Structure 1
Amino acid sequence: MVRPREFDRDAALEQAMKLFWAKGFVATSTEDLVQAMGIGRQSLYNAFGDKRRLYLEALRSYQQGTIAGHMRRLSAPESPLEGIRDLLRGLIAEDDSARAMGCMGVGSVGEFGASDPAIVALREKAAPALYARLVERLREGREKGEVDAEIDPEEGARFVQLAMTGIQLAARGGGGAEDLRRMAHFAADRLKAR
């Protein structure tokens, strides 16, 4: 009896995530996955189920990592406005090929919209924590006099999330790092107290 090849599941998942992130779900074949992950087809099925379940797990892993990074950048500075700037600037990779990948989460919206309940559920699970922290930081900013007192923190948080999406789509479309940084600063400056 042939013993199945052992592999590092987390490393294989990381490779699958990178491939789905770069190509999307539909354009990624099972053959692409086994090549990128360095495993056999049967090992893929045994460890991850089918391509769809692998995609959902990869998207969940991506979201957990990116949301954690967003929260760190947003929360680290004492200045709420600087935290928002850091959040937006942190979306912009210096490396052209990394920047051109954009955001896997935004890519999933472009590919599936609201048509896939499992992907919508992942989105709905990831987004509220960041939104809530944005609202808190905007309230802090108003109290400190950094953020315009006329800005409703909930509307401001939605504006920041919209700016995030715009930056990520512009990156995917080939936007240069300096142009994207200007976009990030412009968006953050719209929140400043006048």
Structure 2
Amino acid sequence: MARPREFDRDTALQRAIETFAMHGFEGTTTPMLLSAMKIGRQSLYDTFGDKRKLYLEALRRYSEDSVGATLSAMFASDSVLDGIEQALLRFAKEATTGTGQACLGIHAVTEFGTTASDVAAVTADVTARTLLAFESRIRDGIARGELATGLDPSDAAHFLLATLSGLKVAARGGASFEVLRGIVRVALGALATR
């Protein structure tokens, strides 16, 4: 008879996310994961499969949570510009606190690019959903007169996505929240009506 699991799966997965975010896939060893997750080797394999399957599940969970929180912040305000500002500032705040400086999504893109189809499928899905939400909000902002009428919604959505990535990379390099807030101000200025 199999022994019952003696750990919380979600807690263990969150610890794996933090470990992969800090060290990347290649830089994270199985012993590092076991120590961080506070589980045994057999529990890792029985519950999550191998290291690659655990990484993909961690990347999916991290991406869903991160994108969900960012987009929720963006749509929480009636004002399009204020919503975009709140989303970027929330992202910047997260990037400069605790383990937020390490980003599993950025690691996945920089470590794998498009060379690993399983990883690229996760990052492409998250990217597509984020761009779609940004583009929708930008179109709304242009129609309301809150954003510059000359903006191309697709280009502006890609600009915001690159801004999010840049905020995480800058934070990882040691940029403070104040520095990131300045980046957000410049980004908002690029979108606002003139």
Where on the TM-score scale, by shorter chain, does this alignment land: which range? over 0.9
How many residue pairs were aligned?
193
Q: For residue 49 of structure 2, what is the aligned residue in structure 1?
A: 49
Q: For residue 6 of structure 1, what is the aligned residue in structure 2?
A: 6
Return closer, same or farther for 1:142/1:6 CA change in 2, 3 Å cut-off: same
Q: What is the identity, as a one-letter code, of the residue corresponding to 2:91?
A: L
Provide the rounded CA distance (Å) in 1 between the counterparts of 2:156 and 2:56: 30
Q: For residue 156 of structure 2, what is the aligned residue in structure 1?
A: 156
Instruction: Output one character per residue of 1:117-176: Cα deviation in whole Å (capped at 9) or x when no partner.
Output: 001000121122221111111111111111000001111111111111111111111111
The sequence identity of aligned pairs, in percent, is: 39
Provide the rounded CA distance (Å) in 2 between the counterparts of 1:93 and 1:153: 26
Provide the rounded CA distance (Å) in 2 between the counterparts of 1:120 and 1:26: 16
TM-score normalized with structure 1 length: 0.94
Q: What is the identity, as a one-letter code, of the residue corresponding to 2:163?
A: A
User: In the TM superposition, what is the alpha-carbon distance from 1:93 to its structure 2 partner?
Assistant: 2.7
Provide the rounded CA distance (Å) in 2 between the counterparts of 1:54 and 1:8: 15
Provide the rounded CA distance (Å) in 2 between the counterparts of 1:186 and 1:10: 38
User: In the TM superposition, what is the alpha-carbon distance from 1:10 to its structure 2 partner?
Assistant: 1.3
Tell whether the 8 Å contact from 1:20 to 1:55 is kept in structure 2 after alignment: yes
User: In the TM superposition, what is the alpha-carbon distance from 1:5 to its structure 2 partner?
Assistant: 5.0
Q: What is the identity, as a one-letter code, of the residue corresponding to 1:167?
A: L
1:31 aligned onto 2:27: no
Provide the rounded CA distance (Å) in 1 between the counterparts of 2:23 and 2:166: 19
Q: For residue 134 of structure 2, what is the aligned residue in structure 1?
A: 134
User: In the TM superposition, what is the alpha-carbon distance from 1:99 to its structure 2 partner?
Assistant: 4.2
Q: What is the identity, as a one-letter code, of the residue corresponding to 2:108?
A: S
Return closer, same or farther for 1:2/1:98 CA change in 2, 3 Å cut-off: closer
Provide the rounded CA distance (Å) in 2 between the counterparts of 1:110 and 1:77: 33
Provide the rounded CA distance (Å) in 2 between the counterparts of 1:160 and 1:100: 19
User: In the TM superposition, what is the alpha-carbon distance from 1:6 to its structure 2 partner?
Assistant: 2.2
Q: For residue 117 of structure 1, what is the aligned residue in structure 2?
A: 117
Provide the rounded CA distance (Å) in 2 between the counterparts of 1:5 and 1:165: 37
Where do residues 23-102 of structure 1 align in structure 2 (5 Å cutoff)? 23-93=23-93, 96-101=97-102
Provide the rounded CA distance (Å) in 1 between the counterparts of 2:55 and 2:127: 19
Q: Mind listing any 5+ residue stretches in structure 2 that lack a counterpart?
A: none
TM-align CA RMSD: 1.6
Q: Mind listing any 5+ residue stretches in structure 1 that lack a counterpart?
A: none
Return closer, same or farther for 1:139/1:4 CA change in 2, 3 Å cut-off: closer
Tell whether the 8 Å contact from 1:21 to 1:107 is kept in structure 2 after alignment: yes
Return closer, same or farther for 1:135/1:96 CA change in 2, 3 Å cut-off: closer
Instruction: Output one character per residue of 1:33-81: Cα deviation in whole Å (capped at 9) or x when no partner.
Output: 1111111101101111111110110000001101110110110110111
TM-score normalized with structure 2 length: 0.94
